[in-house]
Each structure stands twice: as structure tokens, then as C-alpha cells.
């Protein structure tokens, strides 16, 4: 091997792996279904998982204390939250019902505080649960995108201010989480998205314009379905465009 070839090894490595993966993938069509075929498939999956566990750092058997990351990942092993939607959202054009709910610090937050700016209200079933953990982290990662559209964001669930505080700290959520705790689910009811049988809300989104009018509403058809973020951005873009045209 000449020095030039040796230098190019790091670049070649993933390419070789890629070629091997292609060959492995293509072999599926040539194998009949059988326990042996299943075993080969399982072994291939094991190789990838072993590779990943080594790359995570440290031995998988290494003993360590529980970290915040472990707590943040608890939702992956939590009981599933599933079920079809039971409610329909208030339609666009409706004046958004006023509310006053405490955030994690106990400060009372009113809908009218957001008058003059577009607001996304995300009703979600419960802190710590699988779909909600992913949905709110997704929004946290997109804070710049909401800012770019001059939109604010709040989350609402029936959890207490203390649960909201702990959950937001673990997940790094910086936008307000409001406690629809007492009377339980009162605001979710007024927005038509409370699930009486479950004691929590649908997974629902409202986009409310600067005048307090609902411009977009969505209830996930299944509880564990996180609304399409690209669709939410489109709804906000429509509102922003309209707002800027009216101002011009």
C-alpha cells in the first residue's frame, strides 16, 4: 500500500461498509423465508447494534450512576399512549377562548398577553409520556424557526406546575408550559379537545393570530401521532405573509 492509498483509508472505510451493506441488502431477494434466513437477518441487526453500543462510549457493561440523559430517555421505555382522537378542534375563524394558567414558575399567563403576535398553542396529553417528550423537544429544536416567523409558543397539559418545571429542566424546554390542573382540563374543554374518559387532552394544535382569532387547528387522528412540523410551518408562513401584506 503506498502512502497515498494509506492516507485515503478513512474516506474509503465507510464506502466499503456501504458496498457491503448493498450486497447484503441485495441478497434478501435470493433467500427463501426460513429460520436460517431470519437468523442471518438477526445477526446483521446485532452487528449494527453492537457497533453502536461501542460508539456510545464505554463498555455497555460499565456501571455508572443515573444521569439526566437517562431520565430524559425514560419515555422510550414508558407504557405506550395510543388511541384514536375523540374530539374535533374549534374551527379556524373562531375567536380563541381567553385563558389564564400558571407556568412552571407559578406566573399566571393569559392568552391576551400574546395579543399582537401569532401564537402556537400546543395541547398535549401528559408530561414525561412518549409522544409528548418527542413533540416538545422537536419544538424546542425549532425555536429559531418560530422566532423567524415572529410566532410565540406555549404548551398546555393537565400536569401540575411542579411536573412542568422538572420536565422542562430535564428536556431543556424554554417556552412556557402551562398547567391546566385545576379545574382539571378546563381550558382544554373550552378548546374542545379534552378526553373525559382519559383525564387528559388530545394532542392538538392551534395557531392564533395577532387579533386572537384561530387561523389553524389540528387534532392528531391518533394520540401518539406528532403533528407534521412542515405543515405547521406552512400554516405560520401563510399567516406571516398575510400579516406582512396587510401591513404594507
Partner 1 sequence: MAWIGSSYSPFGRRAAPPTIPVVVYGTRWCGMSQMVRRHLDRLGVPYEYVDLEMEPDAARRLAWMTGGSVSHPTVYVGGELLVEPSLRELDWALRRSGLR
Chain residues that interact with partner 1, rule: CB under 8 A: 10-11, 14-22, 24-26, 28, 38, 41-46, 48-49, 51-52, 55-56, 73, 76, 131, 133-135, 137-138, 141-142, 220, 222, 224-230
Least Å from the CB of residue 166 to partner 1: 20
Least Å from the CB of residue 15 to partner 1: 6
Instruction: Tell me whether residue 87 or residue 134 sits nearer to partner 1 (CB atom).
Output: 134
191 Cα distance to chain centroid: 21
DSSP H or E segment with residue 23: helix 9-27
Phi-psi region of 77 (alpha: psi -120 to 50; beta: other; left: phi over 0): alpha
Cell 430517555, residue? 73
Instruction: Tell me whether residue 26 or residue 246 sits nearer to partner 1 (CB atom).
Output: 26
Instruction: Tell me whether residue 25 or residue 58 sits nearer to partner 1 (CB atom).
Output: 25
Whether 132 is a known active-site residue: answer: yes
Instruction: Tell me whether residue 39 or residue 169 sits nearer to partner 1 (CB atom).
Output: 39
What is the rounded CA–CA span in Å between residue 199 and residue 57?
Answer: 41
- Cβ atoms of residues 98 and 240 within 8 Å: no
Q: Active site residue: 109, 119, 132, 177, which one?
A: 132
By C-alpha distance, which of 103, 206, 90 is closest to 163? 103
Cell digits of residue 212: 386572537
229 Cα distance to chain centroid: 9
HSE-CB at 15 with a 13 A cutoff on CA atoms is 5
Instruction: Tell me whether residue 52 or residue 80 sits nearer to partner 1 (CB atom).
Output: 52
Least Å from the CB of residue 117 to partner 1: 23
What is the rounded CA–CA span in Å between residue 89 and residue 123?
Answer: 11
* Residues recognised as catalytic: 132
Amino acid at each position: 500500500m503506498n502512502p497515498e492509498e494509506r492516507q485515503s483509508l478513512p474516506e474509503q472505510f465507510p464506502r466499503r461498509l456501504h458496498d457491503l451493506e448493498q450486497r447484503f441488502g441485495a441478497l434478501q431477494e435470493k433467500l427463501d423465508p426460513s429460520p436460517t434466513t431470519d437468523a442471518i437477518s438477526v445477526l446483521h441487526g446485532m452487528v449494527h447494534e453492537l457497533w453502536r453500543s461501542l460508539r456510545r462510549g464505554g463498555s455497555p457493561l460499565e456501571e455508572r450512576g443515573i444521569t439526566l440523559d437517562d431520565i430524559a430517555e425514560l419515555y422510550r421505555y414508558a407504557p405506550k399512549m395510543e388511541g384514536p382522537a375523540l374530539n374535533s378542534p374549534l374551527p379556524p375563524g373562531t375567536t380563541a377562548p381567553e385563558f389564564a394558567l400558571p407556568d412552571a414558575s407559578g406566573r399566571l399567563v393569559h392568552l391576551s398577553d400574546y395579543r399582537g403576535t401569532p401564537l402556537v398553542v400546543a395541547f398535549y396529553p401528559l408530561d414525561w409520556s412518549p409522544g409528548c417528550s418527542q413533540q416538545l423537544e422537536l419544538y424546542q429544536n425549532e425555536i429559531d424557526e418560530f422566532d423567524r416567523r415572529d410566532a410565540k409558543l406555549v404548551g398546555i397539559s393537565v400536569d401540575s406546575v411542579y411536573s412542568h418545571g422538572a420536565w422542562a429542566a430535564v428536556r431543556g424546554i424554554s417556552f412556557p408550559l402551562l398547567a391546566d390542573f385545576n379545574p382539571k382540563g378546563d381550558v382544554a374543554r373550552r378548546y374542545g379537545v379534552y378526553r373525559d374518559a382519559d383525564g387528559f387532552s388530545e394532542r392538538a394544535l392551534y395557531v392564533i393570530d395577532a387579533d386572537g382569532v384561530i387561523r389553524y387547528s389540528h387534532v392528531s387522528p391518533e394520540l401518539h401521532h406528532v403533528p407534521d412540523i412542515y405543515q405547521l410551518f406552512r400554516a405560520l408562513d401563510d399567516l406571516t405573509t398575510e400579516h406582512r401584506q396587510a401591513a404594507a
